[in-house]
Amino acid sequence: MNRSYISPPSLSNEKSLKTLVENRTVYNLNHCELNIFETYKDATLVPLQFNDLVVTSMLRGKKIMHLFDDPCFEYLPGETVVIPSNVEMKIDFPEATKSNPTQCLALAIDKQKITATLHFLNERYPKEGNNQFWHLDYHNYYFYNNIELATTINKLVKECMGTSITKDILADLTLQELLIRIIQTQTAKSIDDGVITDSNAPITQVIEYIRLNLRENISLKNLSEKACMSTTSFYRFFKRELGMTPIEFVIKEKIKCAKKLLKNPTIQINEVCHLSGFEDSNYFIRLFKKHEGITPKQYQLLYVN
């Protein structure tokens, strides 16, 4: 699956390292604290805990995360984990060496800032449907970065590490954007995973319609009518919920369908194109390569025994 990467800052000078395991550099702002952790040797079950909610993103190398009572998982660049306050994580560094260090950022965000941002969003940009509110989903804590989320984290890291006299103000605005991007990413991941919290929510009905009609000519007008909204209101609603346009989501679902079909090594590319709702095979191949980095045929060959 596609993931977007965050630009890693330069590694610390070897002489400035205080420890080879989770060496920490801290940047303090009014409403957040940016921590950059670097590890230069293998270690297991290293504990780490923050008093505030923390957004962590891998920058270099690999970790194994032990979190909550869930099975441990590999944590790699292009991925983000959101951890509630006062939750202990334990971390393995199976491959860390001086020549191959791990680097990870951990952004601790002030609770009042989170509460104020969610209140502002619910007040000024209320969600459609009954009992629908902007909120962070602490069960949905691990996800791949999309380009919008990675861009926002990059911007925030730049502000935190900068020397501008306005950096606290700019960081505050970017923190609001980051919280919105995280909620949108969590919503999109819940939909991908088939974990829908409210089957009556307008977004749920539209998603179901798209998935049942992938081979049809799905237009913005169709979807707006399904949601009982004007096209302008629906477009704004959809992008606010998922951080992408309705048509971008339709294409994403078609590509997902194509990937499932391509796991069959005997199916023809033209047939995959048709069954996943694309009319033109050249367009399908170009779009698939843009999203996945390889052609449909190359993807199919990954599943040949």
Residues 6+ apart with CB under 8 A from 133: 118, 122, 126, 127
What is the residue type of 263?
Answer: K
pLDDT of the residue at 226: 84
For the chain, which ranges sit under pLDDT 50?
none
What is the residue type of 25?
Answer: T
pLDDT of the residue at 198: 62
Residues 6+ apart with CB under 8 A from 49: 86, 87, 88, 89
Greatest pairwise CA separation for the chain in angstroms: 64
For residue 3, what are the CA distances in angstroms to 38, 55, 106, 197? Answer: 22, 17, 19, 25
Q: What are phi and psi of 104, to 5 degrees?
A: -145, 145
pLDDT of the residue at 305: 65
pLDDT of the residue at 95: 95
pLDDT of the residue at 258: 93
pLDDT of the residue at 195: 72
Looking at residue 263, the DSSP 8-state letter turns out to be T
For the beta sheet containing 89-93, the strands, ordered from the edge strand earlier in sequence to the opposite edge, are 43-48, 89-93, 63-66, 73-75
pLDDT of the residue at 200: 66
Which tens digit of pLDDT belongs to each residue from 205-219? 888 889 899 888 888
Which tens digit of pLDDT belongs to each residue from 120-169? 999 988 887 667 788 998 888 999 999 999 999 999 999 999 988 999 99
